Amino acid sequence: MTQLTVHTRATLAGPVIELSGELDNNSAPDVRTLLPGLTLQAGQQLVIDLTGITFCDSSGITVLIAARNRALAARADIALAAVPDRVSRMLHIVGLDQVFPTHPTAQAAAAAWTPPTSE
């Protein structure tokens, strides 16, 4: 078992959550508890970087949905970065590949973000 490590960082586009290890029933609550404390403004983008994920179960998928709900509540976007093949297959099977934009890297996700325009 590989313990989950979580790092957050702020970018101009919004917060990035970097996950490494196993995102499962044991570790998912840790990620869920940090979501309300994220500084996420309307028009920003929350990026979940899955580069280091070695395992993800249904609890992990539920955390991704919770992160999406947090972003939507803040009137922000969400994107997944570096989604491992096995997680990508799970997202496809349950139809969430239609809900989460994905990018090869967190940097690519930030580059794809369009800042809101002032009207």
Residuewise pLDDT in 10s, the chain (119 residues): 679 999 999 998 999 999 999 999 999 999 999 999 999 999 999 999 999 999 999 999 999 999 999 999 999 999 999 999 999 999 999 999 999 999 999 999 999 988 877 65
Domain 5-110: give its CATH architecture. 2-Layer Sandwich (3.30)
Return the pLDDT at 1.
63
Element (H, E) at 51: strand 45-56
Cβ proximity of 21 and 2 under 8 Å = yes
pTM for the full predicted model: 0.93
Residue 114: per-residue pLDDT: 85
Distance CA 29, CA 13 (A): 25
